[in-house]
Amino acid sequence: MMTRKSRVKSHLLNLRFFLFRRFPLTKAVFRFLFLISAFSALFYLLCKTSIPSWLILTEIVLQHPVLRSRRRLYSTMVAGSRPRTEISLAGTFASSAFAACFAELCTIPLDTAKVRLQIQKKAASGAGVVSPKYRGMLGTVATIAREEGAAALWKGIIPGLHRQCLYGGLRIGLYEPVKTFYVGNDFVGDVPLSKKILAALTTGALAITVANPTDLVKVRLQAEGKLSPGVPRRYFGALNAYSTIIRQEGLGALWTGLGPNIARNAIINAAELASYDQVKQTILNIPGFTDNVFTHLLAGLGAGFFAVCIGSPVDVVKSRMMGDSTYKSTLDCFIKTLKNDGPLAFYKGFIPNFGRLGSWNVIMFLTLEQTKKRFMREV
């Protein structure tokens, strides 16, 4: 005779399977909410055991035989009832641009904090070195919100969205076609990691060459802090910034910092897309894992971590060159930063950078995977 607990569990599983069958798009969202709910319900008991709680949670949620049988049944049903699908280049670009813009909107406060930390220099006074104004990710966010208002955390959001429409759409949308170009249309099997890196380097460099003006305006708006009374602002918005820069500095000024920006974005793009592709492929080769939201979550975190570790030095140089026009070249900025602030300056803002890029990649890839399904067509 089934207990009340067993009946409730059975009803929940049947409801879950019914939703997956009737509304396939809810599969990823429902599973993510299920993970969160399971963690919340079991945390109190798990944290008191001698075995790490995350291992128990993974075993219960992902390896439970009932859930595994449900996943296999659902996968078999979907594979047998749906024809093969593909997505067009325009659909890939549109879904990539949307996912990148959504991630940018959610994480730009962390990006603003990162830029302020990166352009912050050591200040000297007669009594010695003055304490830095900004300290840590949360401290920087709190300081900006207290002194300039919470809206200041979204400074640069308009050019940021301009940037993601161009840069995000191009670098992600062209990744698969360029990867196919490098390996050939007749290639069969897993694409080598070297080809993934080469494809991501190519699309990152091409995309940022087009989108550099939007990046420049975004950084300048983010870098402008609270001004002293009577000091006018340099820019009154994104469109005003574009016109002011062209009028005062010339059209070519919109491509200031293009060298380090190409280096930074090509490297970070390779770290993000190639590592996401590789981590996802590796996870899917592990028994029990499927192409679901949990896999996308792990792969997105891995992509963000690799991107920050590899791209932080060029990111600092790029931010300083765009925020301060006194540097003569990329090499001049690198040397002065190293001389005045030391080698650790190239990893200034590492924590907010990882907090931003890690969360950005998770949000972007989760959104991208779901949005692409809307543009899939039967073949």
Length of the chain in terms of residues written = 379
Are residues 235 and 191 both part of a single domain? yes
Instruction: Identify whether 171 is part of a domain.
Output: yes
Taking only the tens place, the pLDDT of each residue in 306-351 is 888 887 887 788 778 777 777 878 788 888 888 888 888 888 767 7
306, 271 Cβ separation under 8 angstroms: yes
Residue 42 CB partners (closer than 8 Å, separation 6+):
53, 56, 57, 60
Instruction: Identify whether 243 is part of a domain.
Output: yes
Instruction: Identify whether 115 is part of a domain.
Output: no
User: Which residue segment(s) compose the domain that 314 sits in?
Assistant: 257-348
CA–CA distances in Å: residue 110 to residues 103, 106, 115, 153, 301:
12, 9, 9, 8, 16
Alpha-carbon span 194 to 299, nearest angstrom: 18
| Domain end position, chosen among 225, 256, 287 | 256
Please give the average per-residue pLDDT across 164-175, as a whole number: 90
* Lookup result for tokens 């990111």: 315
Q: Note the pTM of the prediction, 2 decimals.
A: 0.62
- Higher per-residue confidence, 29 vs 228: 228
Are residues 261 and 286 both part of a single domain? yes
Taking only the tens place, the pLDDT of each residue in 225-265 is 666 666 677 788 888 888 999 999 999 889 988 887 888 78
Task: Indicate if the pLDDT at residue 80 is higher than 60.
Answer: no
Looking at the structure of the chain, the number of domains it has is 2
